[in-house]
Amino acid sequence: MIVYSDSQIPDIEWLPNVGLGEYTLCHSFEEYVASPDPIKFAFTTHRLHCEHDINCTAYQGFEDKIRKLSDVSQLVFNFESELHDFHWKIWELCHRPNVYWVLPGTVNDNDDMRDHIVFWGDWFKTTAMLYKDLPNKLAELNPYAVKSKMFDALLGSPKPHRDFVYQSVQENNLQDKFIIPYGGAWDDNRFYAQDYFIWEPGVEVDGEQQAGTAGPVFYYGISTGLSRVMPLQVYNDTAYSIITETDHDNTLSFYTEKTAKALIARRLFVAFSGYKFLQNLRMHGFQTFGDVIDESYDLILDDTERYTAAFEQVKRLCAMDQAEVLAKIQPVLEHNHNLIMNTDWTLYAANQIRDIISSAQR
């Protein structure tokens, strides 16, 4: 058996966990393709650190590489830490029956692609890791205390689903119940949120601040991404969270640190994201809040109708007794916290890969 890997990431993090048995490891694409070995498995991180567009350097030649690997391999596994609507274009050009995509999310209403996606909670892992290293900071949270405000809505850079939340708060005169910083058009030359971003104590920018919150910082001496730093002050002033994920596309669910922080911090949340966002999250063992609000909004395909139904639940929660709600959902919040913090998300994906390989070898 010969195994192709194009970086140390599969070598160190994945290959020891996927149950291949004895194999020859090959880092040369040309040697791997030319090898006469009848059993071949390929692991590629070609696009793992690609920018969020299909014109980045890591994208060049990617589809051709996947097709060539598919032609000579029993199975091909591609690892990426992003999932966006442009992936449909990539898949259209190079997806094959023996190609699997290891991603932090899944797709909707396309059984073939869904069956070829391995869920990798990469953003869950990296966000949880920070707070495993800083348990004293996590202990500063008071998740079950009654708060002065109802919701945080840390919306990030302007996008349509975030515009909807911001406008709905204004239209319903709920500003006094929210912490909702928002605004600032994207600017590649400066930090887009510099006029309103709520900085958490202990953060030091690592080098020159980038345009977005993905930039590197030190948080109490630990190197991480700014977006992974939990807004402890905001959470201790608000009872619940609004999640407006990176993507709101109805064909997929992409789970980032935005979702991870709410799960780690034991937060009830209302999601303004794509269709089936909650349903897909529950597929991985998490629980949501159907015992206290109507989460049928998750299954509404039309964006405006789904957001409107979700905001009805925001208004409902604003009118409910905080102490009663927090007491009722405590078991759910504890379950979610324990699941995200105690799951080895690499092993979670590696076990799925192991099952795929075992089936192929039968």
Residue 114, domain member (yes or no): no
From the list 344, 348, 352, the residue with the least C-alpha distance to 129 is 344
Give yes or no: residues 301 and 245 share one domain: yes
DSSP label of 231: -
Number of domains forming the structure of the chain: 2
Give yes or no: residues 192 and 336 share one domain: yes
pLDDT at 194: 82
pLDDT at 50: 67
Give yes or no: residues 27 and 146 share one domain: no
Give yes or no: residues 222 and 291 share one domain: yes
Residue 81, domain member (yes or no): yes
Residue 318, domain member (yes or no): yes
Q: Are 257 and 227 in contact (CB under 8 A)?
A: yes
Instruction: Kindly give the parts of the chain with pLDDT less than 70.
Output: 49-55, 57-58
From the list 249, 243, 200, the residue with the least C-alpha distance to 222 is 200
Task: Provide the terminal-to-terminal Cα distance of the chain, rounded to the nearest Å.
Answer: 15
Give yes or no: residues 91 and 137 share one domain: no
Measured from the Cβ of residue 170, the count of other Cβ atoms closer than 10 Å reads 12
From the list 19, 5, 81, 34, the residue with the least C-alpha distance to 347 is 19
Residue 192, domain member (yes or no): yes
pLDDT at 54: 61
pLDDT at 206: 79
Give yes or no: residues 336 and 231 share one domain: yes
Q: What is the pLDDT of residues 171-180, one digit of tens each?
A: 999 999 999 9
pLDDT at 61: 84
pTM (predicted TM-score):
0.94
pLDDT at 31: 97
H or E element at residue 169 = helix 160-171
**Angle CA 233–269–278, to nearest 5:** 145
Query: Alpha-carbon distance 236 to 149, whole Å?
Result: 9
Give yes or no: residues 200 and 306 share one domain: yes
| Backbone angles phi and psi of 25, in degrees to 5 | -90, 130
Report the SS3 class of residue 47.
coil
Query: Alpha-carbon distance 236 to 275, whole Å?
Result: 30
Domain range for residue 242? Answer: 124-342
From the list 156, 352, 147, the residue with the least C-alpha distance to 272 is 156
The share of the chain scoring above pLDDT 70, in percent, equals: 97
Which structure tokens are listed for 144?
């079950």
pLDDT at 65: 94
Query: Alpha-carbon distance 334 to 342, whole Å?
Result: 12
b/e for 197-231, b at 16 or more Cβ within 10 A? Answer: eeebeeeeebeeebebbebebebbeeebbbbbbbb
pLDDT at 49: 63
pLDDT at 362: 73
- What sign does the CA torsion over 153, 159, 165, 171 have? positive
What residues does 179 pair with on adjacent strands? 152
pLDDT at 213: 85
From the list 320, 306, 295, the residue with the least C-alpha distance to 239 is 320
Give yes or no: residues 257 and 336 share one domain: yes
Give yes or no: residues 211 and 170 share one domain: yes
Give yes or no: residues 55 and 161 share one domain: no
Give yes or no: residues 148 and 273 share one domain: yes
**Angle CA 38–78–359, to nearest 5:** 50
